[in-house]
Protein backbone atom coordinates (compact mmCIF):
# COMPACT_ATOMS: atom_id res chain seq x y z
CA UNK A 1 0.00 0.00 0.00
CA UNK A 2 2.80 2.40 0.92
CA UNK A 3 4.65 1.64 -2.34
CA UNK A 4 1.49 2.34 -4.37
CA UNK A 5 1.03 5.64 -2.54
CA UNK A 6 4.63 6.70 -3.20
CA UNK A 7 4.35 5.75 -6.88
CA UNK A 8 1.13 7.78 -7.16
CA UNK A 9 2.86 10.85 -5.70
CA UNK A 10 5.87 10.45 -7.99
CA UNK A 11 3.62 10.07 -11.03
CA UNK A 12 1.73 13.22 -10.03
CA UNK A 13 4.91 15.27 -10.28
CA UNK A 14 5.85 13.70 -13.60
CA UNK A 15 8.39 11.14 -12.35
CA UNK A 16 7.65 7.47 -12.92
CA UNK A 17 9.38 4.62 -11.10
CA UNK A 18 12.32 3.33 -13.13
CA UNK A 19 12.50 6.42 -15.34
CA UNK A 20 15.97 7.38 -16.49
CA UNK A 21 16.88 10.87 -17.63
CA UNK A 22 18.17 11.06 -21.20
CA UNK A 23 21.73 11.95 -20.17
CA UNK A 24 21.96 8.59 -18.35
CA UNK A 25 19.75 6.49 -20.60
CA UNK A 26 21.65 7.52 -23.72
CA UNK A 27 25.13 7.56 -22.21
CA UNK A 28 27.57 6.20 -24.85
CA UNK A 29 28.30 2.49 -24.47
CA UNK A 30 30.54 2.28 -27.55
CA UNK A 31 33.18 4.62 -28.91
CA UNK A 32 31.06 5.12 -32.05
CA UNK A 33 28.31 6.62 -29.87
CA UNK A 34 30.54 9.43 -28.59
CA UNK A 35 29.57 12.74 -30.24
CA UNK A 36 32.02 15.47 -31.18
CA UNK A 37 35.19 14.21 -29.46
CA UNK A 38 36.82 12.31 -32.31
CA UNK A 39 40.37 13.42 -31.40
CA UNK A 40 40.02 12.15 -27.81
CA UNK A 41 38.43 8.89 -28.96
CA UNK A 42 41.24 8.31 -31.43
CA UNK A 43 43.91 8.69 -28.73
CA UNK A 44 42.10 6.26 -26.43
CA UNK A 45 41.55 3.64 -29.17
CA UNK A 46 45.21 3.87 -30.14
CA UNK A 47 46.10 3.25 -26.50
CA UNK A 48 43.83 0.19 -26.44
CA UNK A 49 45.50 -1.13 -29.56
CA UNK A 50 49.03 -0.61 -28.21
CA UNK A 51 49.99 0.13 -24.63
CA UNK A 52 48.07 2.62 -22.44
CA UNK A 53 49.75 5.33 -20.38
CA UNK A 54 49.55 5.09 -16.62
CA UNK A 55 47.78 8.44 -16.24
CA UNK A 56 45.31 10.42 -18.37
CA UNK A 57 43.83 13.84 -17.67
CA UNK A 58 40.40 14.51 -19.20
CA UNK A 59 39.98 18.29 -19.36
CA UNK A 60 36.96 20.32 -20.47
CA UNK A 61 33.85 22.21 -19.40
CA UNK A 62 31.08 20.63 -17.33
CA UNK A 63 28.65 18.21 -18.92
CA UNK A 64 30.88 17.54 -21.92
CA UNK A 65 31.35 13.79 -21.32
CA UNK A 66 34.71 13.56 -19.53
CA UNK A 67 33.68 11.05 -16.88
CA UNK A 68 31.47 9.13 -19.32
CA UNK A 69 34.36 8.54 -21.71
CA UNK A 70 36.71 7.76 -18.82
CA UNK A 71 34.32 5.01 -17.70
CA UNK A 72 34.01 3.63 -21.23
CA UNK A 73 37.80 3.60 -21.56
CA UNK A 74 38.15 1.88 -18.17
CA UNK A 75 35.63 -0.76 -19.20
CA UNK A 76 37.41 -1.35 -22.52
CA UNK A 77 40.82 -1.59 -20.82
CA UNK A 78 39.61 -4.45 -18.65
CA UNK A 79 37.39 -6.21 -21.22
CA UNK A 80 38.55 -9.73 -22.08
CA UNK A 81 36.83 -9.84 -25.51
CA UNK A 82 36.99 -6.40 -27.17
CA UNK A 83 35.67 -6.16 -30.73
CA UNK A 84 37.65 -4.94 -33.75
CA UNK A 85 36.87 -1.30 -32.85
CA UNK A 86 38.11 -1.82 -29.27
CA UNK A 87 34.59 -1.60 -27.81
CA UNK A 88 33.96 -3.65 -24.63
CA UNK A 89 31.89 -6.76 -25.25
CA UNK A 90 29.60 -6.21 -22.24
CA UNK A 91 29.41 -9.96 -21.59
CA UNK A 92 32.74 -11.10 -20.15
CA UNK A 93 33.37 -11.34 -16.40
CA UNK A 94 35.29 -8.04 -16.33
CA UNK A 95 32.48 -6.18 -18.14
CA UNK A 96 29.74 -7.70 -16.00
CA UNK A 97 31.75 -6.90 -12.88
CA UNK A 98 31.98 -3.26 -14.03
CA UNK A 99 28.30 -2.99 -15.01
CA UNK A 100 27.09 -4.03 -11.57
CA UNK A 101 28.88 -1.02 -10.09
CA UNK A 102 30.56 -3.23 -7.50
CA UNK A 103 33.91 -3.77 -9.15
CA UNK A 104 36.94 -3.80 -6.88
CA UNK A 105 39.18 -3.02 -9.83
CA UNK A 106 37.54 0.22 -11.01
CA UNK A 107 37.36 2.72 -8.18
CA UNK A 108 35.67 6.05 -8.83
CA UNK A 109 36.43 8.94 -6.47
CA UNK A 110 34.98 12.43 -6.19
CA UNK A 111 37.94 14.76 -5.73
CA UNK A 112 35.75 17.46 -4.20
CA UNK A 113 34.73 15.35 -1.19
CA UNK A 114 37.80 13.09 -0.99
CA UNK A 115 40.54 15.68 -1.30
CA UNK A 116 42.68 15.08 1.75
CA UNK A 117 46.11 13.49 1.87
CA UNK A 118 44.62 10.59 3.88
CA UNK A 119 42.24 9.76 1.01
CA UNK A 120 45.12 9.66 -1.47
CA UNK A 121 47.30 7.55 0.83
CA UNK A 122 44.50 4.99 0.96
CA UNK A 123 44.57 4.83 -2.87
CA UNK A 124 48.35 4.47 -2.90
CA UNK A 125 48.19 1.56 -0.44
CA UNK A 126 45.46 -0.28 -2.37
CA UNK A 127 46.84 0.17 -5.88
CA UNK A 128 49.66 -2.30 -5.25
CA UNK A 129 47.19 -5.20 -4.90
CA UNK A 130 46.68 -7.10 -8.16
CA UNK A 131 43.29 -6.80 -9.91
CA UNK A 132 40.72 -9.50 -9.16
CA UNK A 133 39.62 -9.75 -12.81
CA UNK A 134 41.38 -8.59 -15.96
CA UNK A 135 44.71 -6.89 -16.45
CA UNK A 136 44.28 -3.45 -14.83
CA UNK A 137 43.21 -1.74 -11.64
CA UNK A 138 41.85 1.70 -12.53
CA UNK A 139 41.22 4.80 -10.44
CA UNK A 140 38.88 7.47 -11.84
CA UNK A 141 39.24 10.74 -9.91
CA UNK A 142 36.61 13.32 -10.86
CA UNK A 143 37.15 17.06 -10.19
CA UNK A 144 40.80 16.29 -9.50
CA UNK A 145 41.65 20.01 -9.26
CA UNK A 146 39.88 20.01 -5.87
CA UNK A 147 42.63 17.92 -4.27
CA UNK A 148 44.74 19.73 -1.70
CA UNK A 149 48.41 20.45 -2.43
CA UNK A 150 49.45 17.83 0.10
CA UNK A 151 47.17 15.29 -1.60
CA UNK A 152 48.68 16.14 -4.99
CA UNK A 153 52.18 15.73 -3.61
CA UNK A 154 51.27 12.36 -2.11
CA UNK A 155 49.98 11.24 -5.51
CA UNK A 156 53.06 12.39 -7.42
CA UNK A 157 55.34 9.46 -6.57
CA UNK A 158 52.72 6.89 -7.60
CA UNK A 159 52.03 8.75 -10.86
CA UNK A 160 55.76 8.73 -11.58
CA UNK A 161 56.34 5.05 -10.79
CA UNK A 162 52.97 3.23 -10.77
CA UNK A 163 52.69 -0.56 -10.72
CA UNK A 164 52.24 -2.16 -14.15
CA UNK A 165 48.57 -2.85 -13.51
CA UNK A 166 47.73 0.62 -12.17
CA UNK A 167 46.07 3.34 -14.31
CA UNK A 168 44.78 6.76 -13.24
CA UNK A 169 42.01 8.55 -15.15
CA UNK A 170 41.71 12.12 -13.88
CA UNK A 171 38.91 14.51 -14.89
CA UNK A 172 38.77 18.26 -14.35
CA UNK A 173 36.91 21.38 -15.41
CA UNK A 174 39.81 23.59 -14.29
CA UNK A 175 43.09 22.24 -15.63
CA UNK A 176 44.94 25.41 -14.61
CA UNK A 177 44.42 24.49 -10.94
CA UNK A 178 46.18 21.13 -11.32
CA UNK A 179 49.85 21.18 -10.30
CA UNK A 180 52.29 21.35 -13.21
CA UNK A 181 54.18 18.41 -11.76
CA UNK A 182 50.98 16.32 -12.03
CA UNK A 183 50.20 17.54 -15.55
CA UNK A 184 53.69 16.59 -16.74
CA UNK A 185 53.03 12.97 -15.73
CA UNK A 186 49.70 12.70 -17.58
CA UNK A 187 48.54 12.29 -21.15
CA UNK A 188 46.30 15.35 -21.45
CA UNK A 189 43.05 14.97 -23.42
CA UNK A 190 41.43 18.34 -24.10
CA UNK A 191 37.71 18.19 -24.79
CA UNK A 192 35.98 20.74 -27.00
CA UNK A 193 32.51 22.15 -26.45
CA UNK A 194 29.81 20.68 -28.63
CA UNK A 195 28.53 22.72 -31.56
CA UNK A 196 24.85 23.53 -32.01
CA UNK A 197 24.82 21.20 -35.03
CA UNK A 198 26.24 18.29 -32.97
CA UNK A 199 23.76 18.88 -30.14
CA UNK A 200 20.85 19.15 -32.59
CA UNK A 201 21.93 15.89 -34.22
CA UNK A 202 22.01 14.20 -30.79
CA UNK A 203 18.53 15.49 -29.89
CA UNK A 204 17.19 14.31 -33.26
CA UNK A 205 18.66 10.83 -32.76
CA UNK A 206 17.20 10.44 -29.26
CA UNK A 207 13.82 11.86 -30.33
CA UNK A 208 13.63 9.32 -33.16
CA UNK A 209 14.30 6.43 -30.77
CA UNK A 210 11.85 7.80 -28.18
CA UNK A 211 9.17 8.45 -30.85
CA UNK A 212 9.13 12.18 -30.09
CA UNK A 213 8.38 14.63 -32.89
CA UNK A 214 9.29 18.29 -33.34
CA UNK A 215 7.24 20.85 -35.23
CA UNK A 216 10.40 22.15 -36.92
CA UNK A 217 14.18 21.92 -36.83
CA UNK A 218 14.19 25.46 -35.42
CA UNK A 219 12.73 24.12 -32.14
CA UNK A 220 15.51 21.53 -31.93
CA UNK A 221 18.13 24.22 -32.53
CA UNK A 222 16.65 26.34 -29.74
CA UNK A 223 17.20 23.54 -27.22
CA UNK A 224 20.72 23.02 -28.57
CA UNK A 225 21.47 26.76 -28.17
CA UNK A 226 20.34 26.66 -24.54
CA UNK A 227 22.79 23.84 -23.81
CA UNK A 228 25.74 26.18 -24.55
CA UNK A 229 28.04 23.39 -25.68
CA UNK A 230 27.19 20.94 -22.88
CA UNK A 231 25.69 17.55 -23.72
CA UNK A 232 24.34 17.05 -20.21
CA UNK A 233 22.71 20.52 -19.99
CA UNK A 234 21.18 20.11 -23.44
CA UNK A 235 19.64 16.74 -22.59
CA UNK A 236 18.42 18.13 -19.25
CA UNK A 237 16.51 20.85 -21.13
CA UNK A 238 15.19 18.21 -23.54
CA UNK A 239 14.06 16.08 -20.58
CA UNK A 240 12.29 19.05 -19.06
CA UNK A 241 10.36 19.78 -22.25
CA UNK A 242 9.36 16.12 -22.71
CA UNK A 243 8.17 15.94 -19.08
CA UNK A 244 6.05 19.04 -19.67
CA UNK A 245 4.36 17.61 -22.77
CA UNK A 246 3.21 14.44 -21.00
CA UNK A 247 1.52 12.07 -23.45
CA UNK A 248 1.71 14.57 -26.30
CA UNK A 249 4.80 13.60 -28.30
CA UNK A 250 4.77 16.66 -30.59
CA UNK A 251 6.95 19.55 -29.40
CA UNK A 252 6.41 23.00 -30.89
CA UNK A 253 7.85 26.44 -30.13
CA UNK A 254 4.97 27.35 -27.81
CA UNK A 255 5.47 24.22 -25.66
CA UNK A 256 9.22 24.86 -25.56
CA UNK A 257 8.69 28.43 -24.32
CA UNK A 258 6.20 27.40 -21.64
CA UNK A 259 8.28 24.45 -20.41
CA UNK A 260 11.58 26.33 -20.16
CA UNK A 261 10.33 29.85 -19.47
CA UNK A 262 12.00 31.37 -22.52
CA UNK A 263 10.63 34.32 -24.51
CA UNK A 264 9.04 33.87 -27.94
CA UNK A 265 11.25 34.56 -30.93
CA UNK A 266 8.87 37.31 -32.11
CA UNK A 267 9.09 39.08 -28.74
CA UNK A 268 12.91 38.98 -28.81
CA UNK A 269 12.99 40.22 -32.40
CA UNK A 270 10.70 43.10 -31.43
CA UNK A 271 12.92 44.09 -28.48
CA UNK A 272 16.05 43.96 -30.64
CA UNK A 273 14.36 46.25 -33.16
CA UNK A 274 13.46 48.79 -30.45
CA UNK A 275 17.07 48.75 -29.21
CA UNK A 276 18.52 49.10 -32.71
CA UNK A 277 16.20 52.00 -33.59
CA UNK A 278 16.43 53.66 -30.12
CA UNK A 279 12.66 53.38 -29.71
CA UNK A 280 12.22 53.80 -25.95
CA UNK A 281 8.41 53.76 -25.88
CA UNK A 282 8.01 50.45 -27.68
CA UNK A 283 10.98 48.98 -25.79
CA UNK A 284 9.29 49.65 -22.45
CA UNK A 285 5.99 48.13 -23.55
CA UNK A 286 7.71 45.08 -25.07
CA UNK A 287 9.81 44.47 -21.98
CA UNK A 288 6.85 44.90 -19.61
CA UNK A 289 4.90 42.37 -21.66
CA UNK A 290 7.64 39.75 -21.12
CA UNK A 291 7.74 40.60 -17.40
CA UNK A 292 4.00 39.90 -17.17
CA UNK A 293 4.71 36.46 -18.65
CA UNK A 294 7.19 35.90 -15.79
CA UNK A 295 10.13 35.46 -18.17
CA UNK A 296 13.44 35.60 -16.27
CA UNK A 297 15.37 38.81 -17.09
CA UNK A 298 18.57 36.94 -17.95
CA UNK A 299 16.60 34.83 -20.45
CA UNK A 300 15.48 38.04 -22.16
CA UNK A 301 19.01 39.41 -22.43
CA UNK A 302 20.41 36.06 -23.57
CA UNK A 303 17.73 35.87 -26.25
CA UNK A 304 18.62 39.35 -27.51
CA UNK A 305 22.33 38.49 -27.52
CA UNK A 306 21.74 35.30 -29.53
CA UNK A 307 19.48 37.09 -32.02
CA UNK A 308 21.98 39.93 -32.36
CA UNK A 309 24.78 37.45 -33.04
CA UNK A 310 22.65 35.98 -35.82
CA UNK A 311 22.11 39.47 -37.27
CA UNK A 312 25.81 40.32 -37.09
CA UNK A 313 26.76 37.14 -38.95
CA UNK A 314 24.04 37.14 -41.59
CA UNK A 315 22.59 40.69 -41.78
CA UNK A 316 21.47 40.25 -45.37
CA UNK A 317 19.46 37.09 -44.56
CA UNK A 318 17.46 38.41 -41.59
CA UNK A 319 14.12 39.13 -43.25
CA UNK A 320 11.96 39.50 -40.13
CA UNK A 321 13.62 42.73 -38.95
CA UNK A 322 12.22 46.21 -39.47
CA UNK A 323 15.69 47.72 -39.90
CA UNK A 324 18.52 47.07 -42.31
CA UNK A 325 22.11 46.82 -41.10
CA UNK A 326 24.18 49.37 -42.98
CA UNK A 327 21.13 51.47 -43.87
CA UNK A 328 19.23 52.30 -40.69
CA UNK A 329 22.29 51.93 -38.44
CA UNK A 330 25.96 51.13 -38.64
CA UNK A 331 27.32 47.59 -38.31
CA UNK A 332 29.96 48.84 -35.84
CA UNK A 333 27.21 50.20 -33.60
CA UNK A 334 25.63 46.74 -33.30
CA UNK A 335 29.04 45.27 -32.52
CA UNK A 336 29.32 47.70 -29.59
CA UNK A 337 25.82 46.77 -28.35
CA UNK A 338 26.70 43.05 -28.54
CA UNK A 339 29.93 43.54 -26.59
CA UNK A 340 28.31 45.69 -23.89
CA UNK A 341 25.38 43.32 -23.36
CA UNK A 342 27.75 40.39 -22.82
CA UNK A 343 29.88 42.35 -20.36
CA UNK A 344 26.92 43.79 -18.48
CA UNK A 345 25.00 40.50 -18.24
CA UNK A 346 27.79 38.91 -16.15
CA UNK A 347 27.69 41.92 -13.84
CA UNK A 348 23.87 41.98 -13.67
CA UNK A 349 23.40 38.35 -12.61
CA UNK A 350 25.62 38.93 -9.56
CA UNK A 351 23.99 42.25 -8.64
CA UNK A 352 21.85 42.73 -5.53
CA UNK A 353 18.71 43.50 -7.52
CA UNK A 354 19.51 41.96 -10.86
CA UNK A 355 15.95 42.34 -12.23
CA UNK A 356 16.16 46.12 -12.07
CA UNK A 357 19.78 46.07 -13.26
CA UNK A 358 18.90 44.06 -16.39
CA UNK A 359 16.18 46.55 -17.30
CA UNK A 360 18.59 49.48 -16.88
CA UNK A 361 21.23 47.71 -18.98
CA UNK A 362 18.79 47.28 -21.86
CA UNK A 363 17.48 50.82 -21.46
CA UNK A 364 21.05 52.08 -21.68
CA UNK A 365 21.38 50.27 -25.03
CA UNK A 366 18.19 51.98 -26.26
CA UNK A 367 19.51 55.39 -25.17
CA UNK A 368 23.12 54.67 -26.12
CA UNK A 369 23.44 57.68 -28.41
CA UNK A 370 22.51 60.00 -25.56
CA UNK A 371 24.75 58.15 -23.10
CA UNK A 372 27.81 58.23 -25.35
CA UNK A 373 27.64 61.83 -26.54
CA UNK A 374 28.28 64.94 -24.36
CA UNK A 375 25.23 65.85 -22.29
CA UNK A 376 25.55 69.56 -23.15
CA UNK A 377 25.02 69.82 -26.90
CA UNK A 378 26.20 73.44 -26.88
CA UNK A 379 29.57 72.54 -25.38
CA UNK A 380 32.34 72.43 -27.96
CA UNK A 381 35.20 70.07 -27.14
CA UNK A 382 38.79 71.26 -27.12
CA UNK A 383 39.46 69.07 -30.12
CA UNK A 384 36.69 70.72 -32.09
CA UNK A 385 38.05 74.19 -31.15
CA UNK A 386 41.51 73.25 -32.33
CA UNK A 387 40.26 71.97 -35.66
CA UNK A 388 38.10 75.01 -36.38
CA UNK A 389 39.46 76.72 -39.50
CA UNK A 390 39.14 80.51 -39.77
CA UNK A 391 37.78 81.91 -43.05
CA UNK A 392 40.46 82.94 -45.53
CA UNK A 393 40.67 86.70 -46.15
CA UNK A 394 41.17 87.76 -49.75
Q: Please report the pLDDT score of residue 280 as a whole number.
A: 94
Q: Please report the pLDDT score of residue 2 as a whole number.
A: 37
Residue 10 confidence (pLDDT) above 70:
no
CA dist 164 and 231 (Å) reads 34
Non-local CB neighbours of 9 within 8 Å, separated by 6+ positions:
none
Mean pLDDT, the chain, rounded, equals: 83
Q: What is the mean pLDDT of residues 174-182?
A: 89
CA dist 335 and 237 (Å) reads 30
Q: Please report the pLDDT score of residue 386 as a whole number.
A: 37
Instruction: Report pTM.
Output: 0.76
Least reliable range by pLDDT among 95-99, 259-263, 300-304, 348-352: 348-352
Residue 387 confidence (pLDDT) above 80:
no
Q: Which of 100-104, 124-128, 256-260 has the highest mean pLDDT?
A: 256-260
Q: What is the mean pLDDT of residues 194-218?
A: 90
Q: What is the mean pLDDT of residues 52-78?
A: 91
Sign of the torsion angle spanned by Cα atoms 285, 290, 293, 296: negative
CA dist 162 and 148 (Å) reads 21
Least reliable range by pLDDT among 238-242, 271-275, 289-293, 368-372: 368-372
Amino acid sequence: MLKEYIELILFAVGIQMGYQVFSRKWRPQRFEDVVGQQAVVRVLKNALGNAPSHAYLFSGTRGIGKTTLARLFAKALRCLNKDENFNPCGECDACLDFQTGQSLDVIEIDGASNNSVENIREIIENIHYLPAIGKYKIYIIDEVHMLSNSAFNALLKTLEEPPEHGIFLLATTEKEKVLETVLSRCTILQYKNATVAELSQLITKIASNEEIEFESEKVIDQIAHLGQGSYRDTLSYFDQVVSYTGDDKLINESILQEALGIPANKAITFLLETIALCDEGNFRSGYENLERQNIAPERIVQGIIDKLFEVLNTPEEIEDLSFKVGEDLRYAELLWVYEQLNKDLNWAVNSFNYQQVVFIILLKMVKRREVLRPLDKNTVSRTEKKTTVAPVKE
